[in-house]
């Protein structure tokens, strides 16, 4: 690994090549004599002078103190900026300029070398600690929280060193008073440089923050006299949290697949409902305005147009969640995954619920009425184009002639959902009227029409306040303009539904003192520490365990009958005829999901442990794994229902979540099933005329291919971090929520999203999540207020906590050349067991064993009875 100063030398050399001033720049320790803050700083004396400095706590978290300084004089109001990742394109850019006695700040982002657009990173706050203006320069001291992650990367504040980018303009900004002002370029005044972060750490950090908490004073030395005046600067993060004036029957957190159904059904039942969404609007109907350049006056955003769904892989800035480490894609925008996904959407089959870990009450027959409710509102279609034609059918036709002669059958995915062995389908989508449709166009629309419903966007829930098992408040922060920063009180008749997705539901629970002790200790040691609920009130549940995602293996082949379509180019320069067909009729290629994923096929195998496992191939017209060509097809081969591999999710000191144990192929039987599936494809396609195997190569066997597979394993079908079950996780079970979706150990907290799925299902889960949410809404509405979950004893009292070490080992698969790394971790989990009352007494059959005010035995007599509900043994 290069030393810190090697990095500086390297990037300085790069800068010399790009701009002549590079020799004059310096980096090193710098103490600002006005504030006493000690930085690692970069200085450039050219172009009127420039300084950027950074100071971080001795135990780095998710924040830093920054210093930006620039010149005054002619022309006025010139900007100076820093790229927190080095280059201009991708990382968060912080730009500042003088405006009278103040300094205006602006977050920007760029994906090309043109003027960057304003964009506040999700969850980021920049607080001015001190502003100083003298006769020659302006200076801004600021505190930046959560500024260090962006869609394509992050500034690792825990690292030894980091690369930053310098830029400064010789021209005035256009509207000096506006943070969104248009900026003129920086000409040659730009460079990359490195700073040693280890030297930027200081034990005095908290003192500096306390000394300049923001919203206090800024010193301004007048340019014409030497008088010192003080003015006020604005702040967003240190002002006391205002309390919202209203309370609600239900607060639903997260407007994704689960949250939109919940908000609609609860408000339909007459309950007052607040739906809080961290991201901005997505589809045009709900106020989104992120539009490709060619839509003109049409009421469309990129999210509305099926053929642009792949754009998420090109540009996810301001759309994807930025607080999940490791490159996981998840939508942090109104609609969640259903705003950015490919819209594949079909009915569940019995095996999804009946032969898996779903508890009693959540089997196929229980689910069917709720599945029907979903499909009566969102009937899926295999002909999304409004002219009734199917496009890109060279793919379906080819696969038909490969599969059908080998005994595979074409079926209707929704009419024959239980036919998952050697069958293939025209892909059904949730699209409607040639646009995205789905829950955004149905559930959210009917909810918004009700006067007892409110939607807040650009607002993130930070954590829940609680007293034991009773949630008493929801703490929010604004993520962008229009967002809300409040404490919302939750009364004893109020309930909170977490629908923030697999990663963020877990994160909110951790920050609210609910989860395994190791994760809660991380939160305690973070910036949350001082305000975190006391450890005596922590509820130890296995949040983050049971993580699953359908293991994917890409298989690639080519065939001369295949012609691919450039959906990525369609974003900025579509084929004119296709553009017009879409704009005028909502028809044609752009009315179908990119990149022609119009054929899906299925197979089932009994694997080495005797359990049936299913696989799903989703075909698409594009190369992958580095292959190239217009005649390429990639098959995404997902291991679906029946898979037993599980991973683990936890939280980092930065308060990002992270998958610390990957959930892919961790059991031998899963590996065996995957090998069988790959071999099945090899066998079926082996002698098909003119079909060229690309990956695997011709003659390679399945086991060899899987062993040496270097592609990604993820499918974006994450589930399971808050597993549903009757086995109370506080007592050593695996469940985080009970069969009413209520969090064990709480009285008014529920989880309704992909987190609660105990087992995986057929691939493409959004229809399943909507159906589960329909059932959850019915169950929650039928549940008496303040019930104990699952018939357990009261919430957080009378528990003994034992700690045990658990070692998670990696897959037994031996991989020689694969670049995939499976994390091996030794984690300590805390399990808790419920004890009897002081006497250790147990209750008899049909006796009371819990309930409000109950002080008697809380455990049923061993061997004779078990829990029936919150009040009785049976």
Residues that bind ligand HEM (CB under 6 A): 18, 81-83, 87-89, 93, 95, 108, 113-116, 165, 167, 183-186, 190, 192
Of the pair 25, 465, the CB lying nearest ligand HEM is at 25
Angle between helices 766-782 and 257-268 (to 10 degrees): 30
Cβ of residue 165: shortest distance to ligand HEM, in angstroms? 3
Q: Which x/- pattern over 117-156 shows residues binding ligand FAD (rule: CB under 6 A)?
A: ----------------------------------------
Of the pair 71, 87, the CB lying nearest ligand HEM is at 87
Cβ of residue 499: shortest distance to ligand FAD, in angstroms? 5
- Only segment of 495-503, 634-642, 702-710, 861-869 that touches ligand FAD (CB under 6 A): 495-503
Distance (Å, whole) CA 478 – CA 484: 5
Of the pair 592, 672, the CB lying nearest ligand FAD is at 592
DSSP code per residue over 319-380: TB-SSBTTS---B-STTTHHHHS--B-----HHHHHTSSPPTTSSHHHHHHHHHHHHHHS--
Of the pair 173, 308, the CB lying nearest ligand FAD is at 308
Among ligand FAD, ligand HEM, none, partner that 113 touches (CB below 5 to 8 angstroms by kind): ligand HEM
In degrees and rounded to multiples of 5, residue 514 shows phi and psi of -125, 115
Among ligand FAD, ligand HEM, none, partner that 312 touches (CB below 5 to 8 angstroms by kind): ligand FAD
- Strands 78-83 and 161-172 come out as antiparallel
CA 380 to chain centre: 26
- Structure tokens that stand for 732 in this block: 């050593």
Among ligand HEM, ligand FAD, none, partner that 253 touches (CB below 5 to 8 angstroms by kind): ligand FAD
DSSP code per residue over 707-772: HT--S----S--B-TT-B-SSBGGGT-SBSB-TTSBBTT-SSEEE-SGGG-SS--SS--HHHHHHH
- Only segment of 43-51, 493-501, 659-667, 836-844 that touches ligand FAD (CB under 6 A): 493-501
- Strands 552-558 and 632-639 come out as antiparallel
List residues bridging with 429 in a β-sheet: 344, 381
Distance (Å, whole) CA 505 – CA 253: 9
Among 57, 98, 765, 789, binds ligand FAD (CB under 6 A): 765
| Cα–Cα nearest to 868, from 739, 737, 680, 730 | 739
Among ligand FAD, ligand HEM, none, partner that 192 touches (CB below 5 to 8 angstroms by kind): ligand HEM
Cβ of residue 139: shortest distance to ligand HEM, in angstroms? 17
Of the pair 93, 340, the CB lying nearest ligand FAD is at 340
Q: Give the position of tokens 């999901």.
A: 593
Among ligand HEM, ligand FAD, none, partner that 603 touches (CB below 5 to 8 angstroms by kind): none
Cβ of residue 531: shortest distance to ligand FAD, in angstroms? 16
Residues 632-661 that bind ligand FAD (CB under 6 A): none
Q: Which x/- pattern over 369-408 shows residues binding ligand FAD (rule: CB under 6 A)?
A: ----------------------------------------
Q: Which x/- pattern over 248-277 shows residues binding ligand FAD (rule: CB under 6 A)?
A: -----xxxxxxx----------------xx
| Cα–Cα nearest to 757, from 331, 359, 277 | 359
Distance (Å, whole) CA 440 – CA 743: 27
- Strands 63-71 and 552-558 come out as unpaired
Reduced to 3 states (helix: H, G, I; strand: E, B; else coil), residue 227 is coil
Cβ of residue 220: shortest distance to ligand HEM, in angstroms? 25
Cβ of residue 515: shortest distance to ligand FAD, in angstroms? 15
Please report which helix (H) or strand (E) contains residue 260, including its range.
Answer: helix 257-268
Residues 446-485 that bind ligand FAD (CB under 6 A): 460-461
Among ligand HEM, ligand FAD, none, partner that 87 touches (CB below 5 to 8 angstroms by kind): ligand HEM
Of the pair 121, 392, the CB lying nearest ligand HEM is at 121
Among ligand HEM, ligand FAD, none, partner that 256 touches (CB below 5 to 8 angstroms by kind): ligand FAD
Length of the chain: 874
What is the end-to-end Cα distance of the chain in Å, rounded?
Answer: 64
Among ligand FAD, ligand HEM, none, partner that 18 touches (CB below 5 to 8 angstroms by kind): ligand HEM
Contacts of 290 (CB under 8 A, 6+ apart): 282, 301, 302, 303, 318, 319
Tell me: does residue 329 bind ligand FAD (CB under 6 A).
yes
| Residue facing ligand HEM at closest CB distance | 165
**Residue 226 exposed, middle or buried by CB count within 10 Å (0-12, 13-18, 19+):** exposed
Contacts of 316 (CB under 8 A, 6+ apart): 151, 152, 329
- Strands 453-456 and 612-620 come out as unpaired
Distance (Å, whole) CA 191 – CA 597: 43
Of the pair 185, 653, the CB lying nearest ligand HEM is at 185
How many helices and strands (H and E) does the chain possess?
16, 36
Q: Is the peptide bond before 595 cis (omega within 30 degrees of 0)?
A: yes
Of the pair 70, 348, the CB lying nearest ligand HEM is at 70
Of the pair 90, 856, the CB lying nearest ligand HEM is at 90
Q: Is the peptide bond before 71 cis (omega within 30 degrees of 0)?
A: no
- Only segment of 80-88, 417-425, 573-581, 760-768 that touches ligand FAD (CB under 6 A): 760-768
Active site residue 186: no
- Structure tokens that stand for 289 in this block: 């305005």
Of the pair 93, 440, the CB lying nearest ligand FAD is at 440
Cβ of residue 343: shortest distance to ligand FAD, in angstroms? 5
- Structure tokens that stand for 634 in this block: 């990639």
The answer to whether the beta carbons of residues 746 and 539 sit under 8 Å apart is yes
Catalytic residue among 186, 559, 713, 717: 717
Tell me: does residue 552 bind ligand FAD (CB under 6 A).
no
The answer to whether the beta carbons of residues 266 and 260 sit under 8 Å apart is no
Among ligand FAD, ligand HEM, none, partner that 186 touches (CB below 5 to 8 angstroms by kind): ligand HEM
Tell me: does residue 282 bind ligand FAD (CB under 6 A).
no
| Cα–Cα nearest to 607, from 355, 354, 348 | 355
Please report which helix (H) or strand (E) contains residue 426, including its range.
Answer: strand 423-426
Among ligand FAD, ligand HEM, none, partner that 329 touches (CB below 5 to 8 angstroms by kind): ligand FAD
What long-range pairs does 215-218 form, CB within 8 A, spacing at least 24? 215/127, 215/239, 217/130, 218/101, 218/102, 218/128, 218/130, 218/131, 218/132
Cβ of residue 337: shortest distance to ligand FAD, in angstroms? 2
Using CB under 6 A as the binding criterion, the count of chain residues that bind ligand FAD stands at 43
Tell me: does residue 764 bind ligand FAD (CB under 6 A).
yes
Residues 699-758 that bind ligand FAD (CB under 6 A): 716-717, 753-754
Distance (Å, whole) CA 653 – CA 149: 13
Among ligand FAD, ligand HEM, none, partner that 765 touches (CB below 5 to 8 angstroms by kind): ligand FAD
Of the pair 362, 867, the CB lying nearest ligand FAD is at 362
Distances in Å between the Cα of 273 and the Cα atoms of 320, 383, 503 are 26, 36, 23
- Only segment of 498-506, 512-520, 522-530, 831-839 that touches ligand FAD (CB under 6 A): 498-506
Of the pair 83, 832, the CB lying nearest ligand HEM is at 83
| Cα–Cα nearest to 500, from 703, 332, 712 | 332
| Residue facing ligand FAD at closest CB distance | 256
Among ligand FAD, ligand HEM, none, partner that 278 touches (CB below 5 to 8 angstroms by kind): ligand FAD
Binding site for ligand FAD (CB under 6 A): 253-259, 276-279, 312, 329-333, 336-338, 340-345, 460-461, 499-502, 504, 508, 716-717, 753-754, 764-767, 769
Residues known to be catalytic: 717
């Amino acid at each position: 690994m290069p030393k810190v100063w090697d990095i500086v030398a390297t990037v300085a050399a790069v800068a010399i090549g790009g701009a002549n001033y590079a020799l004059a720049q310096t980096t090193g320790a710098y103490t600002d004599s006005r504030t006493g803050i000690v930085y690692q700083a970069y200085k450039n004396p050219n172009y009127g002078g420039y300084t950027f400095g950074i100071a971080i706590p001795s135990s780095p978290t998710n924040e830093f103190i920054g210093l930006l300084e620039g010149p005054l004089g002619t022309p006025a109001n010139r900007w100076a900026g820093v790229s927190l990742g080095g280059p201009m394109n991708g990382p968060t850019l912080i730009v500042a300029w003088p405006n009278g006695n103040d300094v205006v700040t602006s977050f920007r982002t760029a994906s090309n070398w043109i003027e960057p657009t304003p964009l506040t990173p999700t969850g980021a706050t920049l607080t001015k600690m001190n502003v100083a203006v003298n006769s020659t320069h302006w200076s801004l001291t600021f505190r930046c929280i959560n500024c260090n992650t962006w869609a394509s990367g992050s500034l690792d504040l825990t690292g030894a060193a980091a690369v930053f980018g310098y830029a400064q303009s010789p021209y005035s900004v256009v509207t000096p008073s506006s943070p969104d002002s248009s900026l003129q370029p920086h000409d040659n005044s730009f460079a990359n440089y490195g700073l040693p972060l280890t030297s930027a750490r200081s034990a005095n950090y908290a003192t500096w923050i306390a000394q300049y908490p923001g919203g206090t004073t800024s010193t301004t030395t007048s340019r014409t006299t030497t008088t010192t005046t003080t003015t006020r600067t604005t702040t967003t993060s240190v002002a006391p949290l205002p309390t919202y004036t209203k309370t609600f029957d239900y607060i639903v957190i997260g407007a994704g697949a689960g949250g939109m159904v919940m908000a609609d059904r609860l408000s339909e039942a007459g309950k007052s409902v607040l739906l809080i969404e961290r991201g901005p609007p997505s589809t045009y109907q709900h106020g989104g305005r992120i539009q490709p350049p060619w839509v003109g006056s049409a009421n469309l955003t990129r999210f509305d147009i099926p053929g642009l769904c792949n754009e998420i892989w090109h540009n996810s800035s301001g759309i994807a969640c930025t607080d999940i480490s490791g490159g996981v894609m998840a939508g942090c925008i109104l609609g969640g995954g259903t705003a950015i996904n490919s819209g594949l959407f079909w009915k569940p089959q019995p095996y999804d619920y009946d032969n898996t870990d779903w508890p009693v009450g959540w089997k196929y027959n229980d689910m069917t009425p709720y599945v029907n409710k979903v499909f009566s509102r969102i009937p899926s279609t295999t002909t999304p184009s409004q002219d009734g034609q199917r496009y890109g059918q060279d793919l379906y036709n080819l696969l038909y002639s490969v599969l059908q002669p080998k005994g595979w059958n074409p079926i209707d995915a929704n009419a024959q959902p239980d036919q998952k062995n050697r069958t293939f389908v025209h892909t059904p989508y949730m699209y409607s009227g040639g646009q995205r449709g789905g829950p955004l166009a149905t559930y959210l629309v009917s909810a918004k029409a009700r006067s007892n419903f409110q939607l807040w966007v650009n607002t993130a829930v930070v954590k829940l306040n609680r007293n034991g098992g009773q949630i008493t408040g929801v703490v929010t922060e604004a993520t962008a303009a229009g967002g809300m920063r409040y404490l919302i009180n939750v009364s004893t008749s109020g309930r909170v539904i977490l629908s923030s997705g697999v990663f963020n539901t877990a994160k909110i629970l951790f920050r609210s003192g609910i989860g395994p002790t190791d994760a809660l200790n991380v939160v305690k040691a973070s910036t949350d520490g001082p305000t975190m609920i006391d450890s005596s009130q922590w509820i130890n549940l296995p949040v983050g365990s049971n993580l699953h995602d359908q293991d994917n293996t890409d298989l690639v082949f080519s065939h001369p009958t295949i012609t691919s379509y450039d959906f990525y180019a369609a974003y900025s320069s579509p084929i004119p005829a296709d553009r017009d067909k879409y704009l005028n009729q909502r028809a044609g290629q752009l009315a179908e999901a990119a990149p022609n994923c119009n054929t899906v096929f299925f197979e089932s195998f009994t694997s080495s442990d005797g359990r049936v496992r299913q696989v799903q191939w989703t075909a698409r017209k594009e190369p992958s794994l580095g292959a190239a060509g217009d005649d390429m097809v990639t098959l995404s081969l997902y291991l679906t229902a029946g898979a037993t591999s599980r991973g683990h999710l936890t939280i980092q000191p930065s308060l990002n979540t992270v998958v610390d144990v990957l959930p892919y192929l961790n059991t031998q039987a899963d590996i065996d099933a995957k090998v069988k599936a790959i071999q099945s494809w090899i066998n079926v396609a082996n002698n098909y005329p003119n079909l060229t195997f690309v990956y695997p190569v011709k003659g390679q066997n399945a086991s060899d291919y899987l062993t040496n597979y270097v592609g990604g394993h993820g499918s974006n079908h994450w589930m399971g971090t808050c597993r549903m079950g009757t086995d109370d996780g506080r007592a050593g079970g695996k469940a985080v929520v009970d069969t009413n979706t209520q969090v064990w150990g709480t009285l008014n907290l529920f989880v309704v999203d992909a987190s609660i799925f105990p087992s995986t299902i057929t691939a493409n889960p959004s229809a399943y999540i909507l159906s589960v949410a329909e059932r959850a809404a019915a169950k929650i509405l039928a549940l008496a207020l303040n019930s104990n979950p699952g018939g357990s004893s009261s919430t957080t009292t009378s528990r003994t906590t034992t700690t045990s070490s658990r070692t998670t080992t990696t897959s037994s698969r031996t991989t020689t050349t694969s670049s995939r790394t499976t994390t091996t971790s030794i984690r300590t989990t805390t399990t808790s067991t419920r004890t009897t009352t002081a006497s250790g007494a147990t209750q008899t059959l049909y006796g009371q064993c819990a309930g409000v005010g109950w002080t008697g035995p809380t455990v049923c007599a061993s061997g004779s009875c078990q829990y029936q509900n919150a009040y009785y043994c049976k």
